[in-house]
Amino acid sequence: MLAKAIYNIGIRLYKAGVCLAAMGGKKKASLWLKGRQDWQTRMRQAGLGQHPVIWIHAASLGEFEQGRPVLEALRLRYPGYKILLTFFSPSGYEVRKDYPGADYVFYLPLDTRRNARDFADIVKPSLAIFIKYEFWYHLLTELYIRKIPVLLVSGIFRQDQLFFKGYGGMFKQLLQQLTHIFVQNKNSLELLNGIGIHHASISGDTRFDRVAALLTEQQTLPLVTPFASHDKLLVAGSTWPEDEQLLASWWQQSSHPGLKLIIAPHEIHEGHIRQVKTLFPQAVTYSALKAGTADTDATVLIIDNIGMLTTLYRYANITYVGGGFGKDGIHNLLEPAAYSKPVIIGPEYSKYFEAVELVALHGALVVPELTNLQDYMNLLLNDPEFYEKTASIAGNYVKDNKGATEKILQYIQEKRFLSKE
């Protein structure tokens, strides 16, 4: 089959590209390769295959957080099973490789036919769960052949995806092989039904359950607490250069007494952190704060490590979520919304239904240009009624959309994929 041949070539070209990037000194590429070396031996040595296993796969850190409520609920309800968590990306694995909620954490092997067979032979999963997306042909086909139930949770589909194209038959076949597809919204369900996929249902998005659970966690950042004390705080998370330029223009055009700014860029390599420091010359970095070499009177803090953003939003009075000036659109705005924080975003958000809904409710504020940012910041800082209304809408939106995890667990229980013994 031509499509399969093209897919296999694409997989090998991808690996070749990663190898070249690693040779060029790219850290993520090196981690991607190193994490997959001799994976069969390492999985066997870890004890995989010796106990019943539930396998959960997340592309990266965001998908892990999205699926985390399902993982943790399964662990509680089915204690006789070990949990295997896999990641495709280093940005997920390197942050969560020691996650205590999983018994095993590994990189997902490259999707070749041999790797898929070896993986299924070693792991022997009783149930496989994929979070949101990632449709690996050989792995999913091998699971289907072995009659291992596979669920997609928090799926989201758009008309422009391969499944809905005339030449996307191979990927449509993968959808047909899945045991059940839990989608986030009605539009996704209708798209699937339109191509003959009916083993699907609307569960909502498990991210709502995850971000709602943040309210019960008591995590703090001891080095950030003194910085955030006694002043109002704007936390700008997952920012890209366009976001940072906008924020810098706003910050430099006027004084901000009683206000501090934390910027957590999406890319934290040394070159980009230098660029952000150029925009904010008086800023200090988190690593300098940690080393004790930072100016304690600084009003701008740049976060130059990963894994902190969720907790940072807890400290904020106002939040800015980046990505809204790029073609891929904004990052996760549900985390700050869960804390009942007003959320400011750029204009590219239409791909994300939660952003569309929250903007329509006036719980998220869109800033296409500098004057919009100035106007909204003035309102949020100086109009308590406007601030409280915006914050309340954001928090209530998350509360009103919880419940996807329970729907998924109920399905698993009804189908008796797993034993409670």
Average pLDDT over residues 137-146: 96
C-alpha–C-alpha distance, residues 109 and 104, integer Å: 14
Res 421: pLDDT: 57
Confidence of residue 220 (pLDDT cuts 50, 70, 90): confident
Average pLDDT over residues 136-149: 96
Res 137: pLDDT: 93
Percent of the chain topping pLDDT 70: 100
Average pLDDT over residues 246-262: 91
Per-chain mean pLDDT for the chain: 93
Average pLDDT over residues 286-294: 83
Average pLDDT over residues 209-221: 86
pTM: 0.81
Is 414 a residue of the active site?
Answer: no
User: What is the tens place of the pLDDT at every residue in 160-175?
Assistant: 888 888 888 888 999 9
Average pLDDT over residues 199-227: 90
Q: Rounded to the nearest 5°, which phi and psi values hold at 284?
A: -115, 155
Average pLDDT over residues 100-126: 96
Res 1: pLDDT: 67
Res 328: pLDDT: 82
User: What is the tens place of the pLDDT at every residue in 36-73?
Assistant: 999 999 999 999 989 999 999 999 988 999 999 999 99
> Which entry of 63, 94, 348, 354 is annotated as an active-site residue?
63
C-alpha–C-alpha distance, residues 79 and 418, integer Å: 11
User: What is the tens place of the pLDDT at every residue in 172-185?
Assistant: 999 999 999 999 99
Domains along the chain with CATH numbers: 14-204+403-415 (3.40.50.11720), 219-400 (3.40.50.2000)
Res 327: pLDDT: 84
- Please check the confidence at residue 276 and state whether its pLDDT lies above 80: yes
Confidence of residue 371 (pLDDT cuts 50, 70, 90): very high
Which of 5-14, 244-253, 408-417 bottoms out in mean pLDDT, i.e. has the lowest? 5-14
Res 24: pLDDT: 87
Which of 91-95, 116-120, 309-313: highest mean pLDDT?
Answer: 116-120
